[in-house]
């Protein structure tokens, strides 16, 4: 039965290669609702814990003393520390950078680039003659954690403007998600759609819907807070594919697509995961 639904869905996806992003998003929600009829789709912002009662209890216990709390504090301090020229991060963002995470990534009409929040943070630094920070963990991820924290409860609102370059970036991200790669020849969708809710060795697999709402994430395995693109690299490595550089065009496009799929869902970052 499950296989049949997947087959039907794939046919729909292929038939709708030229579906609009909004049609894609609604089809994705329908897919998960059909797969998990009793599931409140809003729960999928909590990743695998939407599907796994046992793991969910352990996670809720962890959330009693959130391991990302220090990162938020350190991020706040770093965010408010002026650059050598006296300017601050707040000067680079709408609303002083508070409660804006739902608008990322966005398409920059001027440059034609996809701008993720981390990309914008480092651009703010280099525009103010500061050295860029490493992309995946550390101060950049802490600042992102603080900014995500001020955006909690807002609904994801990624916009694809009426510009062929924006749509092309979205389509490239979508293609990435559905393309098999690595020695194991797995696409993102093989694990996070077809096998969502199932076990892969010791891990239960989360679903694509809601995967972008809660970053950055403190992972016990990392022992620190890290960005979504760190997770992309890890998922690439898992299937023995060569990961892309963090904030490469490919990963920014992937994040654009993935985030759009979570549009309308509540932001709940930073989060904790095993």
Q: Which residues bind ligand HEC (CB under 6 A)?
A: 47-48, 186, 188, 190-192, 200, 203, 205-206, 211, 217, 228, 231-232, 235-236, 238-239, 254, 273
How far are the Cα atoms of 65, 117, 165 from residue 177, in angstroms, in the given order?
34, 20, 19
Tokens representing 128? 């103010």
CB of 142 or CB of 253, closer to ligand HEC: 253
CB of 48 or CB of 71, closer to ligand HEC: 48
The structure tokens 């990963």 sit at 251
- The distance of closest approach from Cβ of residue 238 to ligand HEC in the complex, given in angstroms and rounded to an integer, is 5
- The distance of closest approach from Cβ of residue 188 to ligand HEC in the complex, given in angstroms and rounded to an integer, is 3
Residue whose Cβ sits closest to ligand HEC: 47
Q: Of 186, 204, 253, 247, which Cα lies nearest the Cα of 48?
A: 204
Tokens representing 32? 């998960």
CB of 26 or CB of 200, closer to ligand HEC: 200
For the range 91-99, what are the long-range contacts, defined as Cβ-Cβ under 8 Å and sequence gap of 24 or more?
91/124, 92/120, 92/123, 92/124, 92/127, 92/128, 93/120, 93/124, 97/147, 97/150, 98/147, 98/150, 98/151, 99/150, 99/151, 99/154
Q: How far apart are CA 250 and CA 204, in angstroms?
A: 26
- The distance of closest approach from Cβ of residue 143 to ligand HEC in the complex, given in angstroms and rounded to an integer, is 19
CB of 146 or CB of 251, closer to ligand HEC: 251
CB of 186 or CB of 256, closer to ligand HEC: 186
Active site (annotated) includes residue 235: yes
8, 124, 188, 235: which is the annotated catalytic residue?
235
- The distance of closest approach from Cβ of residue 77 to ligand HEC in the complex, given in angstroms and rounded to an integer, is 26
- The distance of closest approach from Cβ of residue 205 to ligand HEC in the complex, given in angstroms and rounded to an integer, is 5
Instruction: For residue 137, give every residue at least 6 positions away whose Cβ sits within 8 Å of its Cβ, in sequence order, or none.
Output: 222, 224, 225, 226, 227, 230
Q: Of 108, 93, 95, 104, which Cα lies nearest the Cα of 161?
A: 108
Tokens representing 58? 């352990």
Q: How far apart are CA 63 and CA 49, in angstroms?
A: 12
Q: How far apart are CA 211 and CA 156, in angstroms?
A: 11
Annotated catalytic sites, by residue? 235
């Amino acid at each position: 039965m499950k296989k049949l639904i997947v087959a039907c869905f794939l046919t729909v996806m292929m038939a709708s290669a030229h579906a609009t992003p909004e049609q894609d998003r609604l089809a994705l929600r329908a897919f998960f609702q059909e797969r998990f009829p009793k599931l409140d789709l809003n729960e999928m912002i909590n990743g695998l814990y939407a599907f796994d009662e046992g793991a969910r209890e352990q996670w809720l216990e962890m959330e009693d003393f959130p391991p990302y709390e220090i990162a938020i504090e350190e991020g706040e301090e770093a965010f408010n520390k002026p650059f050598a020229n006296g300017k601050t991060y707040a000067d680079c963002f709408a609303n002083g950078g508070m409660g804006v995470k739902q608008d990322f990534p966005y398409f920059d009409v001027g440059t034609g680039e996809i701008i993720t929040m981390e990309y914008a943070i480092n651009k703010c630094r280099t525009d103010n003659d500061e050295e860029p920070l490493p992309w995946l963990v550390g101060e950049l991820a802490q600042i992102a954690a603080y900014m995500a924290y001020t955006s909690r409860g807002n609904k994801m609102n990624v916009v694809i403007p009426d510009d062929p370059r924006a749509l092309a970036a979205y389509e490239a991200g979508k293609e990435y998600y559905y393309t098999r790669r690595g020695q194991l020849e797995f696409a993102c969708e093989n694990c996070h759609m077809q096998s969502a809710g199932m076990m892969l060795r010791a891990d239960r697999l989360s679903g694509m819907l809601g995967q972008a709402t809660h970053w950055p994430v403190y992972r016990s395995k990392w022992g620190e807070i890290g960005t979504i693109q760190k997770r992309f690299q890890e998922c690439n490595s898992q299937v023995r594919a060569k990961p892309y550089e963090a904030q490469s065009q490919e990963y920014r496009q992937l994040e654009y697509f993935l985030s759009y799929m979570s549009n309308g869902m509540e932001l709940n970052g930073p989060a904790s995961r095993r």
